[in-house]
Amino acid sequence: MFRTLLILFAAAVTAAAGTPPDAPARQRLMKELKLTGAQQEQFEKISYDTQKKQIELRAKTETARLDLRRLMDAETIDRAAVEKKFTEIAGLQTAMKMNHLNAWSEKNKVLTPDQQKVWKKALKRTMDMRHAAGRAMKMRMRGSGMRQPARIEREIIKREER
């Protein structure tokens, strides 16, 4: 418990300072890559363009989720409209993931073959950490009583029966 609080506190302090929580890892990777000035400029441009597009996609996703909430709160649920909204949200989530993949690919093109090896190792490390974090979250959800997809589906069916 104390460790969790300490991590949350560190993340809050870091966020308040305007530094992303993964900044040390990112800085370490940039040192390992030994980018030239031109490569650094290209990386910054790709990062800026990617972040800008992510903001747009997140805004669209949140708006779609808000619309979904309204559909779900209706007296009678329009299954076709809900399904359409789910599909829209899934498409936006896929677009966000593809945006990251495209950025990775664009940055990879800027690198020399030796730098690409370092870059690919870093990507694998990141993916492994995210996978582990996702599994840990699922384990916490199972024990915490948070709503799970099957429960949500049962609630929808109960509403429709009313």
- For the record, the structure tokens of 79 come out as 């299954």
Q: How far is CA 53 from CA 15, 86, 96, 100, 107, in A?
A: 21, 21, 8, 10, 16
Structural contact between residues 30 and 24, judged by C-beta atoms closer than 8 angstroms: no
Q: How far is CA 139 from CA 36, 66, 93, in A?
A: 43, 27, 23
Q: Provide CB contacts within 8 A for 63, sequence distance 6+.
A: none
Q: Tell me: the pLDDT tens digits for 23-71?
A: 787 788 888 899 999 999 999 999 999 999 999 999 999 999 999 999 9
CA–centroid distance for 150 within its chain: 23
Domain 37-110, classified CATH 3.40.980.10, yes or no: no
Mean of pLDDT values over 63-84: 95
- For the record, the structure tokens of 127 come out as 């993916």
Distance between CA atoms of 117 and 132, rounded to whole angstroms? 23
pLDDT of residue 84 exceeding 90? yes
The domains of the chain are located at: 37-110
Model-level pTM? 0.63
